[in-house]
Structure formats: structure tokens, C-alpha cells
Structure 1
Amino acid sequence: MFQFDATWMVFVGLLALRIAATLLMTPVFYAVPLPASVRSLLVVGVSLALAAGLPVPSAPWMGWSALMVAAMFEVALGAMLGLSVLLAFGAFAVAGQLLDVQLGFGIAQIVDPVTKRSVPILTSAFGYLAVLMFFLVNGHHALLRGIAYSLERFPVGAPWSMSDSVAPVMKQAAGLFSLGFALAAPVVFCILLIEFALGVIGRNLPQMNMFTMGIPVKIIAGLVALTLWFTGIGGVMTRTYASISSAWQGIFVAAPASQGRGR
């Protein structure tokens, strides 16, 4: 039976801080434009659902000073978990930026309703593709399961060592550009062959204006190659999403044994 006392309310509040920090660091939370009140209710609802199945621990964070320290620990942990998700989606942004530069779309920018800033066309398209596929592969379910498991490894309000959790995230960040290039590699290689062919033609036919002819040829060939590549991009996307699980597993394994015990 629930006991709606001050300890339980503080427990839910600290849990909500962890969940909010995790979701705020991910593009998933902004995939659908919702009012701030709806997002807040969503965070509170998830917090209440998770707290319903957890025993409320003895409150070592009672008192304002201890409560503030516990709140900072929760925000930092949520931000660390959310950073892993953000890095995975960053690989799609790297792929989009690379193709925008290669195809000449870098100066053609549109307003992204998710980030509220101007981004190139393919960068925005890859961002929406990443969010769409994340939901299609049930990544949101895995995200919630990971947050629930983090409550076992890192009890709410308990201190944790950030230095032990940095290494998995840094390892994921090191592979950000390789994954981003892998997402766009076949199209980049196709554009490279097109530029090589245009260079040969321009060398043998100097009377042709290759700058005028080359741009539309590169755009058409690049878009066709990108369309064909979408049929086989699933494996690379799976590796990109798997990097989130690997980073989170590293963070959870890095938790000391004293924190990993269930309450």
C-alpha cells in the first residue's frame, strides 16, 4: 500500500529528475511538438509508474543540503545516460552533414521544428529518419527498460562515481564519426566516382563547362544512390542503436558492488 508521505514524494521527485534529464538529452523527447506541460506530465507519469514497484528506502537525503546533493547526482546520472542516446543520434547528423556538403545542399537550409534552428536538408531528413527507426525497432521500450534497470544499479538519491562511467561514453564518442561515415559511405563513394568521371570528361572536353554540368549530375546521382542505399542501411543503423546499449551496459557495469545490490 502506498504511503503518500514526504519521503515518498521526495523519492518520486528525485526519480523524476533522473528521467527528465535523460529524456531532455535525447531527440526522442522532441520528436513530436508537445507543450511543456504535457512533457512534464509524461515525466511525472513514468516516475510514478516506476516508483510504484520500488520500495522506498530510508531517506539519507533528508535535509535541504543532502537533498540538493542527491538532486545533483540524479541530474548528472540522467544526463550521462541521455548523452549516450544523443551520441547515437549524432552519428545520423554526421552522415547528413557529410552528404549535404558532397551534394551541395549545405547552403540550402530549412528550419527544423525539433531543434528550432536552421539545418541543411539532408541533415534534417536523417534526423527524422533516426527518430522514426528508433520507434520502429522499439527503441523507446529499450530506453524505458534501461532507465528501470538503472534504478537497481544506482539507487535513487545515492552517490555514484562519475569517473567510472565516463569511459564507456568516451568510447562511444570515439566511434561517432566512424558510424556516421558508415551511414553515408556508399553514397559518398558513388559521388567520388561521379567526380572522377566528370574530371576525366572535363580533361578531354575542355570546351564543356563542367561546373555548370557537374552540380545537377552530382545531385541526381547522389539522390539515386541514397535511395538505393536506404534498402541496405538497416545493418548500420542497428549498429548505431546498439552503441547506446553498449554504453549503458558499460555505465551499469562500472557501478560499485555496493550500489549494484537491490534495496
Structure 2
Amino acid sequence: MEPVADASNSTILAQWLIDHLVLGMLVLTRLSTLLMSMPAIGTGVPNRVRVFLALTMTMLMLPTVAAVTPSDSLPNMDNLIDLVIAVAREGMIGLLIGATVQLIITGLQLGGEAITSTGGMQLGDAIDPSTRSNMPAIARMVGMMVTAVLLCVGGHRIILNVLLDSFKALPAGDVTFDESMMTLIVDQLTSGMVAGIRVAAPVITALLLANLVTGLISRTLPQINVLAIGLSINALAMLVVLAITIGSAGLIFQEELADTATRLGNLW
């Protein structure tokens, strides 16, 4: 009797998957674009691992999403145009969720670039794997630190909860766009820039004071090589103040991440 029961269960599972094939495709699309734009997973992770994560998480989320998705919202498989449009809309929603977090990290990295430019340390640039462009070492360090903070404080679970909530407000196959989504992107861009300024402000202030001291030394002792002394003072001031205040980047990111989750919840 057990082989017959196992075969019956397998048949029921296979039939359920066939009935929810379109829904699974839409869930996979929204989740995949989120993983592509999500920090710590979008770059630096092998493609096979990302595909495995997307498929596994889709299988785990599919029963929950199927319970809250009206059957009449799903496009018909016979209409290829409607299916392609629905898939494209799902991808945009996933990118929207991932981009809101990535904009905060980008703003913090811009704060690191401002510190490097003010301190005259532009020679320490390296290729950033996420943007494929040159980025100062301090900006990369800030980006890696806040990404580690994201994983340590459970930010990935917050993002996935936001994704599940999006399926309740915007059922798969019935996605609509409005002005509030564009407003959210603008607000996140503003918040990222403000967060970068908050991170860079103490170091830039210390560098400006160091330049003021260098100017006073040049006026008092004109025979001293001010250029060599100025670079040394700037580098010392930047490293000391940065070592003291670098932890604030993680605290600022936690605050902005909570605000981001609140904004996305209000959007849904």
C-alpha cells in the first residue's frame, strides 16, 4: 500500500505544480530580479548559486503566494503577449524592492568617495565588482561593512518579508504602477545622499581644520615645505577620525534600512 500512496502523492504534487506553473514563473521573476539587485547576492555570488537560491526560495514561497493570489489575476498561457507583459511587470517590482536598499548603500559609498577626494587619496582606487568602475578603497570598505551589517542584523529577512507583503498588495499577474513608486525612488535617493553626508561630515570637518592648521604653519614658518607637511597632516587626520567614526556608518545604515522597510510597507 505504501508504494501506491507515494505514487498518489507524487501525482497530486505534480498536478499542483502544473496548475501553478504560471504563478511559479511570476514569483520566480519577481524574486530573481530582487536577488539580482540585492546587496551581497547581486554581485560576488556565482550564477549557479543564485539560480539555486531563486528556485529553492520560489518553491518555498509558492504555496504561501498561491493562497493570497486570485486565480483571475493570472495571465493565460495561450496569450503570449499578456504573459510577457506580466513577467516584465513582476521584474520591475523586484527591482524596485532591491533598488531601495542598494540606493542607501550607494549613498554611503559616495560618502567614502567624498572623504577620499577631500583627503587627496585618489590614487587608492580599485575596480568595484558591482559597478565595474573605479572606486576608492575607503568607499569599498564602507560598502562591504554595511553589507555585512545588513546580513548580521537580519536585513535579508526584512527584504524577503517585504517581498511577501508585496504579493498581498500587488498579486502576481495584476501589478499596477503609480506615482508613489517613483516618489519612493526619489526619497530613497535623497536618503542615500543624506546618509553619505552624515558619514563623511566628521572626516571632512577634520580635514578642513587640518588644512587651516597647514595654512597657519605656512604663514608662520614659510621656509618649511608646506606641501609635504600638509599631505601628512591630512592623511593622519583622515585615518584617525575615520577610525573613530567608521562605526557610525553601520548605525546609520540600520536606521535607514528600518525607514526603507517602513516606506515599502506604506507603499503596499
Which TM-score band (shorter chain)? 0.7 to 0.9
Give every structure 1 segment of 4 or more consecutive aligned residues whose post-TM-superposition deviation is greater than 4 Å: 113-116, 231-234
1:58 alignment partner AA? S
Q: Which moved more, 1:168-177 or 1:195-204?
A: 168-177
Match of 1:163 in 2: 179
Q: Which has the higher helix share?
A: 2
Q: Kindly indicate whether residue 39 of structure 2 is the aligned counterpart of residue 23 of structure 1.
A: no
Q: 1: distance between equivalents of 2:159 and 2:250?
A: 19
Match of 1:259 in 2: none
Q: Normalized against structure 2, the TM-score is what?
A: 0.86
Deviation by residue 1:14-33 (Cα, 9 ceiling, x = unmatched)? 111111112212222146x3
**How many pairs does the alignment contain?**
251
Deviation by residue 1:22-62 (Cα, 9 ceiling, x = unmatched)? 2212222146x332121011111111111122326425401
Kept in 2, the 8 Å contact 1:84–1:247? The answer is: no
Question: Which stretches in structure 2 are left out of the alignment for 5+ residues?
Answer: 1-11
Give the alignment partner of residue 13 of structure 1, picking from 2, 25, 32. 25
The within-5 A match list for 1:181-192 is 181-192=197-208
2:50 alignment partner AA? R
Match of 1:97 in 2: 113
Kept in 2, the 8 Å contact 1:90–1:176? The answer is: yes
Q: Normalized against structure 1, the TM-score is what?
A: 0.88
Deviation by residue 1:132-183 (Cα, 9 ceiling, x = unmatched)? 1111111111111111111111111113123232112212212322111101
Q: 1: distance between equivalents of 2:256 and 2:205?
A: 20
User: Percent same amino acid among aligned pairs?
Assistant: 22
Kept in 2, the 8 Å contact 1:17–1:74? The answer is: yes
Kept in 1, the 8 Å contact 2:191–2:256? The answer is: no
1:185 alignment partner AA? A
Cα pair distance change 1:162/1:76, threshold 3 Å: farther
Match of 2:227 in 1: 211
Q: Kindly indicate whether residue 48 of structure 2 is the aligned counterpart of residue 37 of structure 1.
A: yes
CA RMSD, aligned part only?
Answer: 2.0
Match of 1:256 in 2: none
SS of residue paired to 2:223: coil
1:140 alignment partner AA? H
Q: 2: distance between equivalents of 1:30 and 1:72?
A: 19
The within-5 A match list for 1:67-106 is 67-106=83-122
Cα pair distance change 1:22/1:162, threshold 3 Å: farther
Q: Which moved more, 1:44-53 or 1:229-238?
A: 229-238
Match of 2:71 in 1: 58
Q: Kindly indicate whether residue 252 of structure 2 is the aligned counterpart of residue 239 of structure 1.
A: no
Match of 1:132 in 2: 148
Q: Kindly indicate whether residue 59 of structure 2 is the aligned counterpart of residue 48 of structure 1.
A: yes
Q: 2: distance between equivalents of 1:136 and 1:123?
A: 20
- Residue 5 of structure 1 and its aligned partner are, at CA, apart by 4.4
2:35 alignment partner AA? L
Match of 2:166 in 1: 150
Q: 2: distance between equivalents of 1:137 and 1:238?
A: 8
Question: Which stretches in structure 1 are left out of the alignment for 5+ residues?
Answer: 253-263
Q: 2: distance between equivalents of 1:178 and 1:242?
A: 15
SS of residue paired to 1:158: coil
Rg larger in structure: 2
Match of 1:172 in 2: 188
